[in-house]
Amino acid sequence: MVNIEKYGDFKVLGKNKKKTKIILCHTSREVGEYLTSLKFRYNGKYTKIPNYIITKDGKILQLLPDNGYSNYFTDETLNKTSVVVCLENLGWLEKKPLSNSYINWKGSIYNQEVYEKKWRDFFFWEPYSEEQVKSAAELCLHLTETFKIKRNCIGHNTKFEGTEHFEGIVSKSNFDGKYTDLNPSFDFKNFIKLIENGKYTQ
């Protein structure tokens, strides 16, 4: 059974029982900083709230109910029909001059091993952990079971024409080339294998 921890007291914009897709994205900062920004940005009235966050160690935090939605995207229909799952990750990184450290566009410093691949004009990325991939698969299996969402998955992070009409599991980066989440380090091959082989039981 998937282990989900309720977190915070975030307000939903509305509720919708009909969900057709799960959208995977990431935080662009460490989870503590991200949660603080969600709580206090715009004097506590920030409305771009994901349904779930998956931390680096694989913990699943639920911020909004499964049938709830926020203004995460500018498309109201997309918000209503999607469950947003946000993975803790700094995203793209730049090497700091004269050091072994990296830094992302938010100013977060990263001192561990990076994933190297040229993609969308960037070269260095913070890797997603194996625990995150496993937890993401478990959560997606749970959500597809709950909402009868198709267990289809685009299975890569490049732009995909018609993503807004796709029913199943997608990445934010499938919608537009300006987005870099999920980044190239995400193990889509293992994720899809877990989705195809996994059987969620209540």
Give the pLDDT confidence score for residue 40 in this predicted structure: 83
pLDDT at residue 119 is higher than 80:
yes
CB within 8 A of 9, min separation 6: which ones? none
pLDDT at residue 201 is higher than 60:
no
In 3D, which of 122, 86, 120 has the Cα closest to residue 104? Answer: 122
Mean pLDDT within 168-192:
97
DSSP state of 174: G
In 3D, which of 105, 107, 68, 115 has the Cα closest to residue 179? Answer: 105
Mean pLDDT within 142-168:
95
Q: pLDDT digit string (tens) for 7-55? A: 999 999 999 999 999 999 999 999 999 999 998 876 667 889 999 999 9
Give the pLDDT confidence score for residue 43 in this predicted structure: 66
Helix (H, G, I), strand (E, B) or coil at 16: coil
Q: Could you tell me the CA-to-CA distances from 26 to 23, 128, 173 in Å, in that order? A: 10, 10, 10
pLDDT-derived band at 202 (thresholds 50, 70, 90) equals: very low
Task: List the beta bridge partners of residue 109.
Answer: 103
pLDDT-derived band at 197 (thresholds 50, 70, 90) equals: confident
DSSP state of 98: T
Give the pLDDT confidence score for residue 42 in this predicted structure: 64
Give the pLDDT confidence score for residue 1 in this predicted structure: 73
Q: pLDDT digit string (tens) for 130-153? A: 999 999 999 999 999 999 999 999
Mean pLDDT within 55-75:
96
